[in-house]
């Protein structure tokens, strides 16, 4: 989409009700060049946004071509993190669903596709220097999340070769936080046994300083701005998205008023493995393996070619998220609801990491 239509752009957001989707919809709604937004989700929200319509669809089985027809850009954000104990379910949604989104974009004649990749797509890399977008995207083979992100990157390579008329953009963000995502992310990664008040400064005495504990974060509103720019500007290719500073054990200790203690990986991984096997936490030890090997990304291309820069630091994004976690914050969309029906007891009874 080299030029925005005179009557304004129509943008379809797939996966519009989660952490990123809600902020992307809000960012698009604030842009006068966007005439209409179609938010696509498996479950419809009780949330209204100017110039936004909603459509209920499952990307693994429902018709998408009819939803995409007439759009100027499709932003594909839909992704399953859980169930970590059932990788076939996440594969069908994340890989199979993404391929259906890509093909429907082509069949509907949409000129631009923006895909939510991730730092997790990258192969293990350095923690002391930053890598650009040409770093290999082979993921970490044993973690379903990174394996699926890498596979979709290869599929998108083939899609681009087969559809040179479609402008394809891939955003590869670091870890994404906002206040309203806190309850959802607690359910997805930490599980029902983590008390919200435990994350209050002064109550966490130590931060383990593990080899590889250096990562990048970005506020959800800032990544949403990157998606808005990617949908409306004549750019293509991959863009790393993250805010400064790089987060490490020292920064986390400063946030919590704690001290750092150097530890090897193996005892922490063993504890995560046992808790995951006992269905006490949803995040797998394989995801921890991948996390500790992620490279640090160079975001120069996003700042110069996309015209993007974050308004909030990585520390501000983390502190806002932690505040939301203490308060049990959320939004009136199914993924971001502050409290699931049945509460934490329901999470335990249905098996942590077993159901989506």
In a domain, 344, yes or no: no
In a domain, 146, yes or no: yes
Average confidence (pLDDT) over 333-351: 86
**Which of the two residues, 6 and 94, has the higher pLDDT score?**
94
pLDDT at res. 49? 94
Task: Please state which of the ranges 89-93, 140-144, 339-343, 352-356 shows the lowest mean pLDDT.
Answer: 352-356
Distance, in Å, from the CA atom of 49 to the CA atom of 334, rounded to the nearest integer, reads: 16
Domains in the chain, number: 1
Question: In which domain, by residue range, is 114 found?
Answer: 9-190+215-245+295-334
In a domain, 258, yes or no: no
Q: How confident is the model at residue 250 (pLDDT cuts 50, 70, 90)?
A: very high
pLDDT digits (tens, 9 = 90+) for 49-105: 999 999 999 999 999 999 999 999 999 999 999 999 999 999 999 999 999 999 999
Q: How confident is the model at residue 6 (pLDDT cuts 50, 70, 90)?
A: low
Average confidence (pLDDT) over 33-42: 97
Q: How confident is the model at residue 19 (pLDDT cuts 50, 70, 90)?
A: very high
pLDDT at res. 199? 79
Task: Please state which of the ranges 6-10, 28-32, 99-103, 315-319 shows the lowest mean pLDDT.
Answer: 6-10
Q: How confident is the model at residue 345 (pLDDT cuts 50, 70, 90)?
A: confident
In a domain, 285, yes or no: no
Average confidence (pLDDT) over 286-294: 98
The CATH number of the domain holding residue 225 is 3.40.50.720
In a domain, 237, yes or no: yes
pLDDT at res. 230? 98
Average confidence (pLDDT) over 129-139: 98
Residue 4 has pLDDT above 90, yes or no: no
- What rounded mean pLDDT belongs to the chain? 95
Percent of the chain with pLDDT over 90: 89
Average confidence (pLDDT) over 142-150: 97
In a domain, 325, yes or no: yes
Query: What CA dihedral angle connects 81, 25, 97 and 354, to 10 degrees?
Result: 20
In a domain, 202, yes or no: no
pLDDT at res. 2? 52
pLDDT at res. 174? 98
In a domain, 38, yes or no: yes
């Amino acid at each position: 989409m080299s030029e925005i239509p005179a009557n304004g752009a129509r943008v379809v957001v797939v996966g519009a009700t989660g952490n990123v989707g809600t902020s992307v919809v809000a960012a698009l709604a604030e842009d006068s060049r966007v005439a209409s937004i179609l938010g696509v989700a498996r479950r419809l929200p009780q949330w209204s946004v100017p110039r936004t319509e909603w459509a209920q669809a499952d990307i693994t089985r429902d018709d998408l071509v009819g939803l995409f027809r007439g759009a100027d850009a499709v932003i594909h954000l839909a992704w399953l993190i859980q169930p970590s104990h059932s990788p076939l379910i996440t594969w069908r949604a994340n890989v199979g669903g993404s391929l259906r989104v890509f093909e429907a974009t082509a069949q509907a004649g949409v000129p631009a596709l923006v895909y939510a990749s991730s730092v997790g797509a990258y192969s293990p890399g350095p923690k002391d220097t930053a890598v650009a977008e040409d770093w290999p995207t082979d993921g970490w083979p044993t973690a379903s999340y990174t394996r699926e992100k890498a596979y979709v990157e290869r599929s998108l390579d083939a899609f681009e070769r087969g559809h040179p008329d479609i402008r394809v953009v891939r955003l590869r963000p670091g870890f994404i936080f906002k206040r309203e995502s806190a309850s959802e992310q607690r359910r997805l990664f930490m599980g029902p046994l983590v008390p919200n008040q435990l994350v209050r400064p002064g109550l966490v005495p130590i931060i383990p300083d593990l080899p590889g504990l250096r990562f990048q974060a970005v506020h959800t509103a800032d990544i949403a701005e990157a998606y808005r720019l990617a949908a409306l500007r004549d750019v293509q290719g991959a863009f790393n998205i993250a805010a400064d500073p790089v987060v490490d054990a020292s920064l986390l200790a400063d946030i919590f008023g704690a001290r750092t203690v150097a530890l090897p990986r193996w005892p922490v991984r063993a504890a995560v493995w046992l808790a995951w096997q006992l269905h006490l936490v949803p995040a797998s030890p394989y995801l921890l393996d991948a996390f500790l090997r992620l490279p640090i990304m160079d975001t120069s291309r996003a700042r110069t070619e996309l015209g993007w820069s974050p308004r909030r630091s990585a520390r501000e994004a983390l502190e806002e998220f932690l505040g939301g976690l203490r308060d049990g914050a959320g939004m009136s969309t199914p993924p971001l609801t502050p409290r699931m029906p049945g509460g934490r007891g329901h999470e335990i009874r249905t098996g942590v990491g077993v159901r989506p």
